Structure 1
Amino acid sequence: MEVVMRGEAIEFGETGGSVMIQASGLAVLRSLGLVEECFRHGQSSPYICWSKINGSEPIVLNVTNKKADEHDLRMQAPLQILRSKLHTILMHACHKVGIKTLVGKKLVDVKQDGAFVTATFADGSTATADLLIGADGIHSITRRKVFGEHLTANFVGETGHIGVVNVKDHNIVLKDTDACAFFVDRDKKYMVGTYRVSEILAHFE
């Protein structure tokens, strides 16, 4: 598949929160030659913690995958990394080897024909390939076009806010067990999540 960069910088800022990449995902990144770069820009997260909204009564779970058949301990624990940073790493890697990357496209239709799939965009352009990966979020057009227009997301009355904060600038100290933590108030039905993505940045929601 061909890729057009439109001459724009491939940077996405510190937006979109973080993602947690498990051992199997790290193995894929290693096979692509990108895992070390991800380690440089991310933060190992061997624990997940749940507690009350005031931090009391914590329940800490070690999520290190000791059965991952990995001798490198870094490959056993999940890695937290900014979604935008991971996106940038992948885009740069594609650009470096000449894989065409289309930006600013809006998908409007998907057609499957034998062994191929064709994506049609709002500007009238198309792209045909062996495989289409629909990683287009909760309002996925790919899902609706492939499996049916009835598969739409329904608002359930809950809202969330995501922010990326420089913890050093704001004197925020996160313990190792707070690198991925959830503070819950079951009575008022709200939750705060913390995700440390580097030594200086954390994603809060």
Structure 2
Amino acid sequence: MERRAVATALVVGGGIAGAVTAAALRQAGVAVRVFEAHAGAADGVGGMLMVAPNGLDAFAAVGVGERVGALGQPTSTMVMEDFRGRKVFAFDGLPGLPASRTLWRSDLYRVLHDRAVELGATVEHGKRLVGVEEDEDSITAVFADGTTATADVLIGADGIRSTVRALIDPDAPGPEPVGLLGLGGWGPPVPGIGDPGVMHFAQGKRAFFGYWATAEGDTAWFSNLPHPGAMSSAQAREVPAEDWLRRLRAAHEGDHPAEQVLAGARDLQITGALEILPAVRHWYRGRMVLVGDSAHAPSPSSGQGASITAESAVQLARCLRDLPDLPRAFAAYEGLRRARTDKIIAGARRTNNTKAAGPVARAVSRALTPVLTRTLFTPKRIFGDIHAHTIDWDERVGA
């Protein structure tokens, strides 16, 4: 049998990135232990997200494509509008690709966690990583409770504030605020909104607004309010919900249908400042490697966070399966992923800058958008190579 890079792995982080990485590694024949800092599982934690066609393809590679494809509701059409509610352009998806899915983060987590366990991964909670001890043949994780665990490789799937990233490179960047706050919730039905498969995005006069009909008949919505500087979700939740609603209603005064939706808004979901991760120079060192938001966090504006996390997990598992040593496996993994994730992050940064623009820039953008969407910004140009990306699990990886 051909020698491969690893037989055992420690995955630090038990959320979406950790669960899909564990599932992919188990499918590749690697024994996996997952360690999560929080005391309990992530059921019921987090808001809504979108899984794009490329994400569905990656999840299919670990055997949960149909399960993920049954979650939430399909989003087959995206419509860009102005603040008056007039359509600027619509994207109906690319031919031959499934519709994106809009779903609860906690539902996706549960499917992925169950798949990892089903394949033989073990998951331990209350294990906060504080250090590592590495030698020629293995790496040992040291946890805050004094326990340790040893394996061939340690994978940092511990999110945008990754401890593993800092261990790989103490000078690695941390997350940066993008100049926007994220808030969302539910509101009354919007006449003429269309079926639940249509998601609407409107560049308002002072803030960005997204909304769509739910299967239950009401309206789900989110708003990105311009806001300089950082604000954690905990800090944002310290502000009373009614204060946030007053600010939202003032920001969207005169915007249609945001003004009407927010008049009856309820069950406010508060994210805090949206963040993006600048380019991480070192994805790996020695026997440690990063996956998901610890390596590439593009901010929610990309609509790609969960999808590219799944892609990276699958590609890392393929490289560790097919290549005989860690340096070659890690280099091949980064070679398969970095250019693509850099491009998606750059696109998210441009979107964030547009959302956070001042009134003059917004007016210029509104004037130019109809022209650009007929020429440069066609759906195929915007989404083609992102949504149509596929991974062949069975194809061998070359060095």
TM-score range, shorter chain: 0.5 to 0.7
Do the aligned partners of 1:110 and 1:118 also contact (CA within 8 Å) in 2? yes
Matched with 2:203 is 184
For residues 162 and 129 of structure 1, do their structure 2 counterparts lie closer, same or farther at Cα, with a shift above 3 Å needed?
farther
Distance (whole Å) between structure 1 residues aligned to residue 210 and residue 46 of structure 2: 14
How far 1:89 moved relative to its partner? 0.9
Count of residue correspondences: 187
Is 1:199 aligned to 2:229, yes or no? no
SS of the residue corresponding to residue 176 of structure 2 reads: coil
| TM-score normalized by the length of structure 1 | 0.67
Structure 2 Cα separation of the partners of residues 111 and 95 of structure 1: 27
Q: Does the CA contact (< 8 Å) of 1:18 and 1:80 recur in 2?
A: yes
1:98 paired to 2:120: yes
Give distance in 2, aligned partners of 1:80 and 1:148. 36
> Is the 2:41–2:125 contact (alpha carbons within 8 Å) kept by the matching residues of 1?
no
Show CA shifts across 1:45-71 (max 9, x none).
2222222234223321233363xxxxx
Work out which of the residue numbers 71, 86, 89 in structure 2 matches 1:59.
Answer: 89
Identify which of 169, 173, 195 aligns with 1:147: 169
Q: Write the deviation string for residues 92-114 of structure 1: whole angstroms up to 9, x where unpaired.
A: 22233431112343333456656
Gaps of 5+ in 1: 67-74
Q: What's the secondary structure of 1:87's corresponding residue?
A: helix
Whole-angstrom distance in 2 between the partners of 1:127 and 1:25: 31
The CA distance in 2 between the partners of 1:100 and 1:139, in whole Å, is 23
TM-score (norm 2): 0.39
Q: Deviations over 1:98-152 (max 9, x none)?
A: 3111234333345665675554433233444455554433323333332334412
> Shift of residue 159 of structure 1?
2.0
Identity %: 27
Q: Is the 8 A contact 1:46 1:63 kept in 2?
A: yes
Deviation at 1:87, TM superposition (A): 0.2
Q: Structure 1 CA distance, aligned partners of 2:138 and 2:76?
A: 40
Q: Is the 8 A contact 2:200 2:210 kept in 1?
A: yes
Higher relative contact order (CA 8 A, sep 6+): 1
Distance 1:55 1:134 in 2: 43
CA distance in structure 2 between the partners assigned to 1:10 and 1:107 by the alignment: 17
What is the distance in 1 between the residues matched to 2:33 and 2:108? 21
Bigger shift: 42-51 or 81-90? Answer: 42-51
Distance, in Å, in 1 between the alignment partners of 2:203 and 2:163 is 33
Judged with a 3 Å threshold, the aligned counterparts in structure 2 of structure 1 residues 134 and 11 are, in CA distance, closer, same or farther, namely closer
CA distance in 2, matches of 1:111, 1:54: 59
Q: How far apart are the structure 1 equivalents of 2:73 and 2:139?
A: 37
